[in-house]
Every structure is written in C-alpha cells, then in structure tokens.
C-alpha cells in the first residue's frame, strides 16, 4: 500500500500509472485475437502471419533501442512519446476506415510496433523520476506500475470474450483501441512533463549513436540479458503451451485454459502489488530467483498434473513466479545501464526478443523430441539455467 500511496500522491507517477493502464488495455484487447484477425478474418496464411509476427518483433525491438539511445542523447522524451502514440493511432485508423489484408499488415507490422515503444518510455521516465528514492521504494513503485499493465488482462479480456460470444465483430477492436490511443496522445501532449521543465534531473549521455549502441551490447550486459531472457522464456512458452496441453488432455478443453489463465493473472497482479514489502526485507535478485524457481516448478509439473484435479494447485506457483519475475526484472535491467534511462528501458525490449526466440526454439525442439510435455520440461530446465547464471553473475551486495 505504501508504494500505491507514493504513486497516488505524485502527479508524474500518477500520470505514468494511468498511461500504463490504458496502454495495457490496448495490448490486452488484441493479444488473444490478433492471430484470428490475421489468418481467419484477413486471410493470411500461417506462414504469412508468422512473417508479420516476426517482423513486428524486429521493428518493435529496433525502434525501442533507437528511441532509448536518442532520448538519452537529447531532450526528446516527450516528442518520442508523442510519435509513439501517433504511430498507434495511424495503424488503428488505417484498419478502422479501410479494413483489408494490406492495412492489417501495415498496422501490425509497422505502426503498432512503433507505438509499442511508448511502454519503454513510460518505464524510462519512472526510472528517472524515482532515481532519488531508496532502492526498495523505487523497485516497489516500478512493480506497481508493471501491475497496472497486467490489470486489463484480468478485467478487460472477459468482457471482450462475452462480446465476441454474442457475435460482435472482431473489427470493433480497432475503433475501441483507437480511442485508447487517442487518450494516450492527449496525455502525452497535455500532462507528460516537458523535457525542459521535467521534475527530475537528467545528465544526457554525451555519447554518439554507435558508442551508445556499443554500451548496450557490451559483453557483461549481453550475458545478463541472455540469462534474464532464459528466465522469461518460461512465461512466453507457458502462453503457447497452456491451451495446447489442456485441449489435448482427456476431460479438459479451452474453457479450462481460460479459467486457469484468468485465475493466475488475477493472483499474479496481487503478487506484483505486494512486492514492495518483499524488497524491504530481501535482495532483489533473490526474489527474482525465488520467482523463477516457482515458475520452473509449474513448468515441470504441469504436463503430468493436467489430467488431474491437482492441476489447479499450480495456479499458485505460476502466479507467484510470474509476479515476482515481471515486477522486478524491469528494475534489474534498467540498473544495468544506471543513468541511461532510455537505453536501460530498451533492454526490456531486447530481453523480450531473447525470451521469445528461446521459447520458439524450445517449442520446436520439444515437438521433435516428443511433444508438448517435453517442451515444458526443457522450459523448466532453461529457467533454472538462466537463474543460476544471474546468481553467478550478480549475487553480490548490489543486486
């Protein structure tokens, strides 16, 4: 509650929290349905949709790194945030007024990935604004803001599910999320602090673009990025395996997957909101390691317990694991680059690329070796290897 109060009393943090909630609503609205839109509604082949998905990830990560470096070099945070919001608006307007395969591809391959850089900028501003706080308070505030991103997944998705079960067209997603993107742009233009009058002190990097890029890609940071990507690969893999394992298990189905997902997201949010208490007593890296151990436990037990009633007990370790990892890994990655708030936030996008690449490789290897259960077991081992690597690299007094 202390960290929620800190956010509520501070106008800048309050604005960032609201922006995160709206941005999370936009992302949550599309997350379960974008593949249906692309393949079933707009007629893309499986291979064509895979290309859009891969391309959108590359655009998002590349843009995040560039924006992070540029905003560390010069006073351009508000301008870059406005460009991100405008990019989302452009993509959503395209499909709203002229829905077609071409506009879908442009929106989801280019404009929306560019718009996704706004989330990194939100966390960069949060890092700058909380720089003078005690580390426990800073981590707690970041955890609450991250929890706000997850809230719409628990609250909004059931509403969309009811709407689409009532045969509302999937295309209604575009004008609805367009309104969210317009609200984000309005917040950036009228509430987001101007760079020249921001309520924080920032020393610009003074580095050229390629020197900044080299700073992001240096060996020690890359090792930690790979290790954190291995830890996060479990959540990416879980998103793929959950419905597949349930639907292939006798007596289970997609309804069980939906109930499990909704319950674990709701509990995960509660864990994120309580992290502020933990960071006052335990070291951040040890909390992340505890979360990873819980997630690995879930991955290792899920295939075997899926046919039984005991599978519902796994909601606890996966929720605890996800909540602890998600809420603190952002602060961990940002601190790797210290005062470089923009570049530090871009590490989150790079870590996502690593985790999604690892999850795809694990899924493919599991399919070759024996199926979804093998993929889950490999995922559990990968999480533990990543955790061990983080502890070996950073198990000192700082982290």
CATH of the domain at 71: 1.20.1250.20
Examine the domain organization and report whether 31 and 96 are in the same domain: yes
Contact 266, 320 (CB under 8 A): no
* CA–CA dist 16, 149 (Å, integer): 11
Task: Report d(CA 291, CA 316) in Å as an integer.
Answer: 11
Asked if residues 319 and 295 have their Cβ atoms less than 8 Å apart, the reply is no
Q: Which domain holds residue 81?
A: 1-202
Query: Do 338 and 216 lie in a common domain?
Result: yes
In this structure, are 184 and 287 located in the same domain?
no
Compute the distance between CA of residue 142 and CA of residue 275 in angstroms, rounded to an integer: 10
Strand, helix or coil at 208?
Answer: coil
The CA-based angle 24-160-53, given to 5 degrees, is 60
Determine the Cα–Cα distance for residues 59 and 219; give it in Å rounded to an integer: 24
| Global pTM value | 0.85
Please indicate, yes or no, whether residues 313 and 168 belong to a single structural domain of this protein.
no
Burial (Cβ within 10 Å: 0-12, 13-18, ≥19) of residue 323: buried
Quick one: 193 and 303 in the same domain?
A: no
Q: What share of the chain is helix, strand, coil (3-state, %, to 5)?
A: 85, 0, 15
Same domain? 245 vs 318:
yes
Q: Give, as one character, the DSSP assignment of residue 13.
A: H
On whether both 216 and 195 belong to a single domain, the answer is: no
Q: Residues 307, 252: contact at Cβ < 8 Å?
A: yes
Same domain, residue pair 163 and 212: no
Could you read off the pLDDT of 336-389 as tens digits, one per residue? 876 667 777 788 888 988 998 898 889 888 888 888 899 999 999 999 999 999
* Counted domains in the chain: 2
Contact between 26 and 177 under an 8 Å Cβ cutoff? The reply is yes
Token pair in block for residue 10: 């501070």
Q: Nearest 5°: CA angle at 164, between 160 and 170?
A: 90
Domain termination residue (choose one: 202, 217, 249): 202
Q: Read out DSSP for 129-153? A: HTTTS-HHHHHHHHHHHHHHHHHHH
Q: Exposed (0-12), middle (13-18) or buried (19+): which is 185, by Cβ within 10 Å?
A: buried
Query: Residue 120 and residue 281: Cα distance in Å, rounded?
Result: 28
Buried b (16+ CB within 10 A) or exposed e, 90-124: bbbbbbbeebeeebbbbbbbbbbbbbbbbbbbbbb
Which of 202, 218, 233 lies at the terminal end of a domain, its last residue? 202
Distance CA 135, CA 271 (A): 19
Co-location of 38 and 152 in the same domain: yes
250 shares its domain with 362 = yes
Angle between helices 254-278 and 315-335 (to 10 degrees): 50
Domain boundary among 202, 232, 257: 202
> Does residue 272 sit in the same domain as residue 358?
yes
Burial of 33 (0-12, 13-18, 19+ CB in 10 A): middle
All residue ranges of the chain with pLDDT < 50 are 398
Half-sphere exposure of 256 (CA within 13 A, CB side): 18
Measured at the CA of 17, the angle between CA 12 and CA 20, to 5 degrees, comes to 125
Statement to judge: residues 160 and 174 lie in one domain: yes
């Amino acid at each position: 509650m202390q960290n929620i109060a800190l956010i509520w009393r501070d106008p800048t943090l309050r604005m960032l929290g609201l922006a995160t909630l709206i941005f999370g609503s936009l992302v949550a609205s599309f997350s379960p349905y974008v593949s249906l839109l692309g393949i079933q509604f707009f007629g893309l082949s499986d291979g064509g949709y895979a290309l859009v998905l891969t391309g959108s990830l590359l655009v998002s990560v590349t843009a995040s790194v560039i924006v992070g470096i540029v905003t560390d070099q010069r006073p351009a945070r508000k301008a870059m945030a406005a460009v991100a919001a405008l990019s989302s608006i452009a993509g959503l307007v395209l499909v709203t007024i002229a829905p077609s395969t071409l506009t879908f591809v442009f929106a989801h391959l280019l404009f929306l990935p560019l718009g996704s850089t706004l989330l990194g900028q939100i966390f960069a501003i949060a890092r700058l604004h909380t720089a003078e706080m005690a580390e426990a308070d800073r981590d707690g505030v970041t955890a609450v803001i991250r929890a706000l991103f997850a809230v719409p997944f628990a609250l909004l998705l059931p509403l969309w599910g009811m709407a689409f079960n009532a045969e509302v067209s999937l295309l209604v997603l575009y004008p609805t999320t367009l309104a969210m993107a317009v609200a984000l742009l309005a917040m950036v233009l009228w509430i987001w602090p101007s760079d020249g009058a921001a309520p924080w002190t920032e020393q610009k990097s003074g580095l050229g673009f390629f020197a900044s890029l080299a700073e992001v890609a240096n060996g020690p940071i890359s090792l930690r990025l790979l290790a954190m990507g291995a830890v996060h690969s479990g959540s990416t893999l879980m998103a793929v395996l959950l419905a597949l394992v349930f639907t292939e298990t006798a007596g289970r189905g997609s309804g069980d997957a939906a109930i499990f997902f909704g319950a674990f997201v709701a509990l995960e949010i509660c864990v994120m909101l309580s992290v502020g208490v933990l960071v006052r007593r335990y070291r951040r890296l040890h909390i992340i390691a505890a979360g990873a151990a819980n997630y690995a436990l879930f991955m290792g037990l899920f295939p075997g317990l899926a046919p039984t009633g005991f599978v519902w007990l796994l909601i606890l370790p996966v929720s605890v694991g996800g909540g602890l990892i998600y809420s603190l890994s952002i602060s961990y990655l940002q601190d790797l680059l210290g005062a470089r708030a923009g570049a530090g936030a871009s590490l989150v996008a790079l870590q996502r690329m690593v985790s999604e690449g690892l999850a795809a490789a694990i899924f493919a290897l599991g399919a070759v070796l024996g199926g979804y259960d093998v993929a889950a077991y490999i995922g559990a081992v990968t999480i533990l290897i990543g955790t061990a690597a983080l502890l070996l690299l950073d198990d000192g007094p700082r982290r």
